[in-house]
Copies of this chain bind each other. A is one copy, B any other.
Amino acid sequence: MKVAEMIGEVRKIVESWRKEGLSVGLVPTMGYLHLGHESLIEKAVEENDRVVVTIFVNPAQFDRAEDLENYPVKTEEDLKIIEKIGGALVFLPDATEIYPEGFNTVLEVEELDKELCGATRPGHFRGVCTIVNKLFNIVGPTRAYFGEKDYQQLAIIRRMVTDLNMPVEIIGCPIVRDEDGLALSSRNARLSADKREKALILSRTLRELKERVAEGERETSKLIRWAIERIEKVPQARVDYFEVVDRETLQRLDVVESGGVVAAAVFIGKVRLIDNILVG
């Protein structure tokens, strides 16, 4: 496995693969890999001749300095994981390689980024679109893999790729959960044992909401009110948003329809966690 810090090196390596007619899978990450990332890399290795994993904690997509500063890092371990699964190249740039002086281009998906995380994290998806667009142009992958935990991110990236005719296939992969139901996230590392226990309220509430829908409750305002009350009964848990939206347009639904997704963000103390579940 090769590790490259410079864009020019990455281009050269991938170019040589392309000349051999090999397909290339890309898994963009911010590092601190967990089983969720591993599932993306495994799928990419299954479906492509070569796999590139990027590790870059993208400052442009952090709206809170505190969150960026505390984002966990374990690069040496990450590299071992990637090599074991079968990655061929890791791109590990620093911020000056990605955002050179005079950087001035703005890229965003206008409607999809107004709701959910976009409403409470200004500029976040602009940062996501920019870095993902750049990585696609640097690597030129056949396919790129994203987790469905970041549901809105996946919808926005799909829209950007369609709108800009980017020659890459976007593959969404299911959420990976711990045995107790907590959606895996690098940010879980910042939870104490006590807070980790409290954080379970999010996945539990989503699962029970789905059951309520199965039992016939369709009115989203009722479901949401019930869910927020339930979550905020837990000490130190605060709902950032809790919404039922259309799977593609991310527009709010008044009644649960087929094609709905329940998406939520909850602060447990200072750590913000997201999760979602398909309903209807």
Q: Which residues from chain A sit less than 8 Å from chain B, CB to CB?
A: 7, 11, 19, 21, 100, 102-112, 129-130, 133-134, 137-138, 140, 159-160, 162-167, 249
Q: Is the interface of A mostly helix, strand, loop or mixed?
A: mixed
The answer to whether A102 and B159 touch (CB under 8 A), given A107-B107, A107-B164, A165-B7, is yes
Q: How many copies does the complex hold?
A: 2
Whether the pair A100, B162 counts as a contact (CB closer than 8 A) is yes
Is the pair A165, B134 in contact by a Cβ cutoff of 8 Å?
yes
Nearest-CB residue, chain B, relative to A168: B137
Which of A105, A106, A140 has the largest number of chain B CB atoms within 10 A?
A: A105
- A104→B100 contact, CB < 8 A: no
Cα distance, A162 to B7, chains bound together (Å) = 12
Are A108's CB and B106's CB within 8 A? yes
Interchain CA distance A163-B100 in the complex, whole Å: 8
Please name 7 pairs of A and B residues whose Cβ atoms are closer than 8 Å in the assembled complex, sorted by A: A100-B162, A104-B110, A105-B107, A106-B110, A107-B107, A134-B165, A137-B167
In this complex, which of A11, A102, A112, A130 has the most chain B Cβ atoms within 10 angstroms of its Cβ?
A102
Task: Say which residue of B102, B112, B130 sits within 8 Å of A104 (CB atoms).
Answer: B112
In the complex, which of the residues A103, A137, A140, A167 has the most CB atoms of chain B within 10 Å of its own CB atom?
A: A137
Residue of B nearest to A162 (CB): B100
